[in-house]
């Protein structure tokens, strides 16, 4: 639902979908999609760990009840962590997360 109805913003290494939901109470929900096009299982899991770590600094800024889906692109496999962090912050801002 978030991917279909939410606002999308893309960067070089990832795409972010944001769906603000005023009817939901509670903390924001965040999901990650890292497909096989990113690489083998070891690489996909590494990318997911790095994205989860980067999201920790942004999750407190997200509005209550917001849903976010972060989809990694194949370029994320070779990107340094600080680049993923910067792309994530920019994409969240462009998608209207805050």
Q: Cα separations (Å) of 28 from 20, 40, 50, 60?
A: 9, 29, 19, 8
Q: What is the pLDDT of residue 2?
A: 79
13 neighbors 85 (Cβ within 8 angstroms): no
What's the CA gap between 16 and 27, in Å, rounded? 18
Tokens of 5: 């109805």
| pLDDT beneath 70: ranges in the chain | 22-23
Show me where the domains of the chain are located.
2-94
Q: What is the pLDDT of residue 3?
A: 80
31 neighbors 69 (Cβ within 8 angstroms): yes
For the domain made up of 2-94, the CATH class stated in words is alpha beta
Q: What is the pLDDT of residue 54?
A: 95
* Residue 10 CB coordination number (10 Å): 15
pTM, rounded to two decimals: 0.89
Q: What is the pLDDT of residue 58?
A: 93
pLDDT in tens, 78-89: 999 999 999 999
Q: What is the pLDDT of residue 22?
A: 63
Tokens of 6: 């939410």
Q: What is the pLDDT of residue 20?
A: 86
């Amino acid at each position: 639902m978030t991917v279909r109805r939410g606002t999308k913003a893309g960067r070089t290494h990832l795409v972010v979908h944001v769906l603000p939901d005023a009817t939901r109470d509670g903390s924001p929900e965040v999901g990650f999609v890292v497909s096989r096009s990113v690489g083998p299982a070891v690489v996909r899991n590494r990318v997911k760990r790095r994205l989860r770590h980067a999201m920790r600094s942004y999750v407190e800024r997200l509005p209550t009840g917001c849903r976010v889906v972060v989809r990694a692109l194949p370029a994320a496999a070779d990107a340094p962590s600080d680049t993923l962090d910067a792309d994530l912050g920019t994409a969240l801002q462009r998608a209207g997360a805050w």
